């Protein structure tokens, strides 16, 4: 089980944008801030826009900013936007295949294994949903926030 590395980029980008609510930040500037390849980061940010986490604006002084308040965004929103939201376990109903196939009337409700795996997945989701971006940013020291703003703000390029 593996989450794409871009999930880390998306999470850091969102928390960084939450520290700069005044102006939009371009993908290129974010990439320079984190030392990441700009074009691929753009693709991930586009996914966040499509999911309603970020809003994009084109042209000069354009870029990305939070589409909603940081207090209404959770880690789950970001992970879902990247595509890591699918249940890692998918039941292929192999109990209905092969020599030991179960008759369909026994398979009305999902098999126990799928149920238990899904419960674990839901526990993971709820744990992520409990973390709000604003709380995360609020626990950062002023020094860290100041450095982030200095690196991302257009005037201090």
Considering only residues 58-97, where is the footprint of a copy of itself by CB under 8 A? 75, 84, 86, 88-92, 94-95, 97
Q: Toward a copy of itself, which CB reaches closer, 43 or 102?
A: 102
Closer of 58 and 139 to a copy of itself (Cβ) = 139
Q: Least CB distance from residue 38 to a copy of itself, whole Å?
A: 11
3-state secondary structure string, 45-112? Answer: HHHHHHCCCEEEECCCCCEEEECCCHHHCEHHHHHHHHCCCCCCCCCCCHHHCCCCCCCHHHCCCCCH
**Which one of a copy of itself, DNA, none is in contact with 60 (Cβ closer than 5 to 8 A by kind)?**
DNA
From the CB of residue 78, how many other CB atoms can be counted at a distance below 10 Å?
25
Q: Which does 89 bind (CB under 5 to 8 A by kind): a copy of itself, DNA, none?
A: a copy of itself
Q: By three-state DSSP, how is residue 132 classified?
A: strand
Stretch that binds a copy of itself, among 20-28, 44-52, 61-69, 115-123 (CB under 8 A): 115-123
> If binding is defined by CB under 8 A, does position 51 make contact with a copy of itself?
no
Q: Which is nearer to DNA, 96 or 140 (CB)?
A: 96
Could you list the residues that contact DNA (CB under 7 A)? 2, 4-6, 26-29, 37, 39-40, 42-43, 45-46, 49, 56-64, 83
Structure tokens at 24: 């939009």
Cα end-to-end span (Å), the chain: 39
120 interacts with a copy of itself by CB under 8 A: yes
d(CA 154, CA 149): 9
The phi, psi pair for 74, rounded to 5°, reads: -120, 170
């Amino acid at each position: 089980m593996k989450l794409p590395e871009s999930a880390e980029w998306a999470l850091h980008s969102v928390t960084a944008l939450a520290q700069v609510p005044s102006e939009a930040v371009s993908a290129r500037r974010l990439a320079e801030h984190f030392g990441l390849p700009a074009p691929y980061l753009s693709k991930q940010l586009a996914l966040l826009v499509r999911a309603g986490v970020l809003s994009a604006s084109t042209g000069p002084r354009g870029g990305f900013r939070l589409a909603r308040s940081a207090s209404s965004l959770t880690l789950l929103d970001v992970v879902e936007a990247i595509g890591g939201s699918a249940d890692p376990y998918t039941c292929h109903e192999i109990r209905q295949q092969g020599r030991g196939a179960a008759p369909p009337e026994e398979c009305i409700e999902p098999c126990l294994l799928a149920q238990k795996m899904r419960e674990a997945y839901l526990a993971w989701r709820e744990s992520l949903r409990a973390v709000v971006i604003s709380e995360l940013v609020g626990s950062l020291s002023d020094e860290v926030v100041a450095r982030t703003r200095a690196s991302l703000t257009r005037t201090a390029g």
